[in-house]
Amino acid sequence: MLDYLYFVFELLAFISCAYFYKSLDKNFRIFLPFLAFVVIYEYANMYNLLMWHNTNAWCNNFEGIIELIVFGQFMASLDKRKAYRRKVHIAIAAGIAITLIDMFIQGFWTYGTIAIVFQNTIIATLVCIYYYNLINNSDEYLDLLSYPPFYATIGLLFYSLANFFFYAFFSYMMYVKNYHFYMVAKVICDMGCVFLYSLLAVSFLCFSRTKKLS
């Protein structure tokens, strides 16, 4: 049921991004092709169109790489410091390398849980650094409730932490066959998706309101 629910929110985010595209700042426009990919990917997954050797773990691993690139580039674009952006790009490259190594170690057909945990650690850390800089360097009169990056980044933080929690314990849960804990963790992970894509839609809407007020 939750699979269909968060697909609705992914579709809503894509439609919102396409509708408000001309109002978006340049660093937000990366989300349109990404959300188009997400909608197609999740639709195919719902109907098991990506099953290969009785698993879709292989495509989940590649989706993680795409998410790391898109989310990492977005977080880098929110900072004007070239040196910091360079460090973010290095972290992204390291995440991709670790993902490929993990796929080789754990197997192409299995979830690269170590890589996924590492990817989400990178994104969560970037968001926390962004908030630290925002608190210390922003205008004291900044209205967060009408500030698009606030919604986008808080969505990314919820999403990355939910995925971190789920995949950090994934292998152990499967080993001990604790399916009750697995179901709770899966719900938390799915709700992270709902938070991310609903808050992305809100951030796109904020651009429209900002343009009208100006």
Token pair for 144 = 């967060």
Please give the residue range of the domain that contains residue 90: 2-213
Contact 155, 197 (CB under 8 A): yes
- Report helix, strand or coil for 200: helix
Token pair for 115 = 């890589």
Long-range contacts of 75-84 (CB under 8 A, 24+ apart): 75/123, 75/126, 75/127, 75/130, 75/153, 75/156, 76/126, 77/26, 77/27, 77/30, 78/27, 78/130, 78/149, 78/153, 79/130, 79/133
Indicate the number of domains in the chain.
1
Contact 23, 207 (CB under 8 A): yes
Around Cβ 63, how many Cβ atoms within 10 Å?
18
Read off the pLDDT of residues 15-62 as tens digits, 9 standing for 90 and up.
999 999 999 999 999 999 999 999 999 999 888 888 887 888 888 899
Which amino acid does the sequence have at 35?
A: L
Tens-binned pLDDT, residue by residue, of the chain (214 aa): 556 788 899 999 999 999 999 999 999 999 999 999 999 999 998 888 888 878 888 888 999 999 999 999 999 999 999 999 999 999 999 999 999 999 888 888 888 888 999 999 999 999 999 999 988 877 666 778 889 999 999 999 999 999 998 888 776 676 677 677 767 777 888 889 999 999 999 999 998 765 554 5
Contact 118, 72 (CB under 8 A): no
